[in-house]
Amino acid sequence: MAMLHRTTPILRSFNEAKAREFYVDFLGFRVLFEHRFHDGAPLYMGLVRDHCELHLSEHHGDACPGGSMRIAVDDVNTLCAELQARAYRHARPEVQDMPWGTRDFTVTDPFGNRLTFTSAIST
């Protein structure tokens, strides 16, 4: 039987500067790679923070804007406080206890993609 491994989501982006401001400056990801087929071509970029990897694509066929994902973190409160301290003008995340037993906060990138960071509530 074949074993599945990690997944790498691809999110649609439209503006390289805004993508860097949100994902690198605000969320703290670092750029793994950047690819363009030629000068002036759309950007395809890999990002990573800790064990979380995602890709951003300006190519219209790679993904639809408005995607949503959940990212597990070991301490959602600490991450939320870190992001709040950065004072990103387009997001003020707040942690909420969810009825299904997680503590979450959601931020929306400049392209309409929603990233929900989540930790299990310890009892």
Q: Is the confidence at residue 122, as pLDDT, over 90?
A: no
97 close to 121: Cβ distance less than 8 angstroms: yes
pLDDT in tens, 24-36: 999 999 999 999 9
Q: Is the confidence at residue 84, as pLDDT, over 80?
A: yes
Q: Which two tokens stand for residue 53?
A: 């990897």
Q: In the chain, what are the domain boundaries?
A: 10-120
Rounded to two decimals, the pTM is 0.93
119 close to 73: Cβ distance less than 8 angstroms: yes
Predicted confidence at residue 20, as pLDDT, reads 97
Domain over 10-120 is classified CATH 3.10.180.10: yes
